[in-house]
Amino acid sequence: MSPKAKKSNNKVSANEVDFSFDEENLAKANAIIAKYPEGRQRSAVIPLLDIAQRQNDGWLSRTVLDYVANFLSVPPIKIYEVATFYTMFNLKPVGQNFIQVCRTTPCWLRGSDKLTKLCKDKLGIDVGQTTKDGLFSLIEVECLGACVNAPMVQINDHYYEDLTTERFDAILDDLKSGKEVKIGTQIDRINSAPASGMTVLKDTE
């Protein structure tokens, strides 16, 4: 889930205590709740937290959590339990580019630890920290489901796969300068096909 998919003027800071869904997100939230039987609205907690996080610049403050609890008519603790359990939810502000380095076995065997080290050295932050300019945050996560294309990193809503330290270094530079970056595999392969090219069905049109 991306923390930066949508910017909004309705965000919470240390000097603001108010939060509510904007018109667009209110419609989305109501549409999601309508999918559940009467009395089961609390089942919508995860998608509503995602909507709230996106509107609130990528994180969930206490005020935002309480708003979602009130919106769903459930005790706040029920919302806190979900928000603190799933790593997709951020309980403190994050950078404009939220970097999630996969560290599960396939990615680790293919060098994900080197990608983490590159981030630390290049950005001057440790895991769980944000750069002073607010451009980058770094965390490590478990499997993101692109094992064939390891090592991979998720930045906001996008996957960057088949990475080398050189290619990842260039991606960070491009993101910092605001350039468009190729998403998905970074080598010449189609989706998750073999890196060496097709080995079967070569004669199939």
- 71 with 137, same domain: the answer is no
Assigned domain for 25 exists: yes
- 61 with 112, same domain: the answer is no
Cβ atoms of residues 63 and 12 within 8 Å: yes
Q: Is this model's pTM higher than 0.75 or not? A: yes
168: CB partners within 8 A, 6+ apart: 115, 118, 153, 160
Reference 52, options 28, 36, 17, 76; nearest CA is 28
Please give the pLDDT value at position 54.
Answer: 95
Assigned domain for 51 exists: yes
The DSSP line for 121-150 is HHH---TT-B-TTSSEEEEEES--S-GGG-
Convert the pLDDT of each residue in 7-49 to its tens digit.
444 443 443 458 999 999 999 999 999 999 988 989 999 999 9
**What domain range is 114 assigned to?**
97-185
Convert the pLDDT of each residue in 121-157 to its tens digit.
999 999 999 999 999 999 999 999 999 999 999 999 9
Q: How far is CA 159 from the centre of its chain?
A: 10
- 77 with 118, same domain: the answer is no
- 51 with 29, same domain: the answer is yes
DSSP conformational letter for 85: H
Q: Can you read off the two tokens belonging to residue 4?
A: 């930066």
Reference 45, options 8, 98, 85; nearest CA is 85
Domains in the chain, number: 2
- Given pLDDT bands bounded at 50, 70 and 90, which one contains residue 189? confident
